[in-house]
């Protein structure tokens, strides 16, 4: 297992050693002690979530605040997604900057998203199963988000906008300039 920090401090690409043979493959998708050593801090995950989505489904950009802020370790179990994070930490030199990465069943990459980041993804394959570990429990009152099409972020979601499938809840999220952090 290896970790490479992205341009956003504290956000890491995690890659595992995949062992393939005629029967298929095997890899260790998570090891608590190795993971903590690689990212240089202790993260205790307490909740696992999984979603199934079709091509064009865009989920995000979501985050939780205060005592319920969450760090996440995300991956595509089946299919391919474009995963996007936005640094929401006001004190950070990369505040309001974003990073995107393709996560797929083929590349087996994972992304560690620290607390203080908005997170979202769009499905690029026909379908996808997306899995994420969280280091804090979900709390509806602490849930917040940003518009996926915020012009100040200028995120390239890699699909034409007319192919996006976005929830009503995500369509009414504020832009970065219209929210109070």
Catalytic residues: 62, 132
Angle at 21 (CA atoms; ends 14, 74), nearest 5 degrees: 20
What angle (nearest 5°) sits at the alpha carbon of residue 133, between those of residues 129 and 136? 140
**84 within 8 A of 74, measured Cβ to Cβ:** no
- The single-letter DSSP state of residue 157 is -
Q: What are phi and psi of 99, to 5 degrees?
A: -135, 140
* Helices assigned H by DSSP within the chain: 32-39, 168-171
Cβ atoms of 176 and 146 closer than 8 Å: yes
Handedness of CA 154, 159, 160, 164 (dihedral sign): negative
Which residues, in sequence order, are CB contacts of 100 under 8 Å at separation 6+? Answer: 82, 83, 84, 85, 155, 156
């Amino acid at each position: 297992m290896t970790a490479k920090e992205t341009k956003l401090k504290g956000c890491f690409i995690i890659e595992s050693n995949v062992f393939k043979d005629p029967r298929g493959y095997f890899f260790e998708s998570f090891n608590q002690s190795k993971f903590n050593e690689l990212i240089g801090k202790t993260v205790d995950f307490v909740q696992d979530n999984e979603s199934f989505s079709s091509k064009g489904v865009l989920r995000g950009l979501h985050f939780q605040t205060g005592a319920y802020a969450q760090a996440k370790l995300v991956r595509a179990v089946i299919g391919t997604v474009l995963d996007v994070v936005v640094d929401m930490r006001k004190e950070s030199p990369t505040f309001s900057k974003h990073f995107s990465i393709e996560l797929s069943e083929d590349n087996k990459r994972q992304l560690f998203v620290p607390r203080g980041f908005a997170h979202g993804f769009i499905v690029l394959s026909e379908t996808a199963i997306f899995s994420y570990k969280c280091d804090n429990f979900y709390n509806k009152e602490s849930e917040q988000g940003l518009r996926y099409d915020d012009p100040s972020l200028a995120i390239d979601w890699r699909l034409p906008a007319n192919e996006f499938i976005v929830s009503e809840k995500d369509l009414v999220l504020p832009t970065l300039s219209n929210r109070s952090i």
